[in-house]
Amino acid sequence: MKFLSVKSVIIRNSVRNIIMESKFIINGEKPLSGSIKVKGAKNAALKVFPLALMTDEPIEVVNVPDIEDCHRAQEMLAALGHSVKKLGIDKMQIQRQNRTCLNLSAELVNKFRASIMFVGPLLATCGEVYFPHPGGCVIGAGTRPIDMFLDGFDKMGAKLEVLENKYRLTAKKLKGANIFFPKITVTGTESLMTTACLAQGETILENCAMEPEISALAGLLNRMGAKIEGAGTPTIKIAGVKKLNGGEYQIIPDRIETGTFAILAAASNSGAIVIEDCEPKHLGSLWALFDKIGVNYELDKSSVKILPTDKILATDVTTHEYPGFATDLQSPFTVLMTQAEGVSLIHETIYDRRLLFADLLTQMGANIIMADPHRVVVNGPAKLYGRKLISPDLRAGMALVIAALIAKGKTEIGNIYQIERGYEKLAERLKNIGADIEKI
Ligand code: EPU
């Protein structure tokens, strides 16, 4: 059993500085084959940890990915007076001890956007919370906005003050409200759905995101005593309850990791790769694209096999909210299109800066024309060559890893802290399928 103490937080921070200096060295064009296991979903795990603020009882979480963003969330819980015990390789127990503060640490909040999930639970249980603007990947215009969260808390009766470098929200008692999201927001839906569980009366959320992580979160909240209906559809109804109990939660497999490995296998096109411990049904839009471009694949209940194919065809793709094609798979798919025959148009609709990484692929030899920040035209196939690169963010960094694995020669990727925010023991797992990758 392992406790996360303040001392371990300090050690982790200094370890993190070293990690930020780490690099991947990849020698490309090695044939890849074998099997690779998918870990628990980052974007599901990050939404579950803050629920520990809403109950006196322990919460046990299984299939927790050992990634940097989850470490930051655990440090946040420790800083807010919770014990975080490791019960096994990927199992954790979290329990409230003493609520020590209502301030979300700027250092931690700056590191991951999902830190905003801690705001609602603190507001609902303590009536007050201070927090800076959340960080995370720099993929949206300026700092990624939180207006829909703040509007939602306002409708639930909270008062907002903007202080120097931080927000303060106060509410004696949150009340149920009718909230229509002007734009579909994943974490916004999760945050207001969670907070509404402890509000007085009924909350109706409309134009909600429908990602599988939202239904999974609602499932856990209902097992803890909440009354949520409609999660996974555009309208969610929440009847507020007085208290929540503890609960146990099995984190769903990471659909973005599954899709990323499938795209890697298709781009490498060198041997059969089986992706295990996944939920193929969460990736319907990717399989539809694979049908169109000629990727050879077989789906099973919890695995996917990608087999070599004669030729991959170019296609246009537009990112969309779930169940459409995920923006988090756009950068790996762009790499795949550099190997496809023909011209493809990649249209990124969710974020303003997520396609800028394509310039790095051009440096590797890809033939890509940027039409505007939301659209690039890829002419394929193109031979890629190893280069010295810096990972701009999590998903673009992973796309560079894929590009390096299929490129001729050696690639050095710096700033891999960004990649390790979301992929556990990546080098080790890729080595097991034949990749020549070292972390130094
Ligand atoms: N937006 C606003 N105002 C808000 C909230 C969002 O304008 O108050 C905008 C965003 O700027 C964006 C759009 O709405 O243009 C959608 O953003 P959303 O809120 O859905 O994104 P998120 O919840 O912050 C989650 C994932 C992202 C993933 C998106 C879209 C987590 C922790 N993050 O972000 O994952 O790209 O949904 O599916 O769940 C990643 O894992 O690499 C990642 C960035």
- Residue-wise pLDDT tens digits, 259-301: 999 999 999 999 999 999 999 999 999 999 999 999 999 999 9
278 is catalytic: no
Residue 6 has pLDDT above 80, yes or no: no
**Could you identify the atom of ligand 1 that is nearest to the CA of residue 395?**
42
Interval between CA 133 and ligand 1 midpoint (Å) = 14
The stretch 63-82 carries a mean pLDDT of 93
- Residue-wise pLDDT tens digits, 166-225: 999 999 999 999 999 999 999 999 999 999 999 999 999 999 999 999 999 999 999 999
* 42-250 CATH fold: UDP-n-acetylglucosamine1-carboxyvinyl-transferase; Chain (3.65.10)
The stretch 382-386 carries a mean pLDDT of 98
- For the chain, domain boundaries: 7-38+254-439, 42-250
**Surface-to-core class of residue 52, CB atoms within 10 Å of its CB (0-12 exposed, 13-18 middle, 19+ buried):** buried
Distance CA 355, CA 334 (A): 9
Distance CA 341, CA 344 (A): 9
Here the tokens at position 361 are: 């692929």
CA 402 to chain centre: 18
3-state secondary structure of 400: helix
Grade residue 97 by pLDDT with cuts at 50, 70 and 90.
confident
pLDDT of residue 105: 85
3-state secondary structure of 364: coil
186: Cβ below 6 Å to ligand 1? yes
Residue 138 has pLDDT above 90, yes or no: no
Here the tokens at position 157 are: 């009766």
* Superfamily of domain 7-38+254-439 in the CATH hierarchy: Enolpyruvate transferase domain (3.65.10.10)
Q: What pTM did the predictor assign?
A: 0.94
Distance CA 17, CA 64 (A): 23
Q: Which of 70, 101, 126, 137 is catalytic?
A: 137
Residue 134 has pLDDT above 90, yes or no: no
Nearest CA to ligand 1 atom 2: 145
* Average pLDDT over all residues of the chain: 93
Nearest CA to ligand 1 atom 17: 185
pLDDT over 70, % of the chain? 93
Buried b (16+ CB within 10 A) or exposed e, 14-31: eebeeeeebbbbbbbebe
Which runs of consecutive H residues, i.e. helices, occur in 139-211?
147-155, 186-196
- Residue-wise pLDDT tens digits, 291-349: 999 999 999 999 999 999 999 999 999 999 999 999 999 999 999 999 999 999 999 99
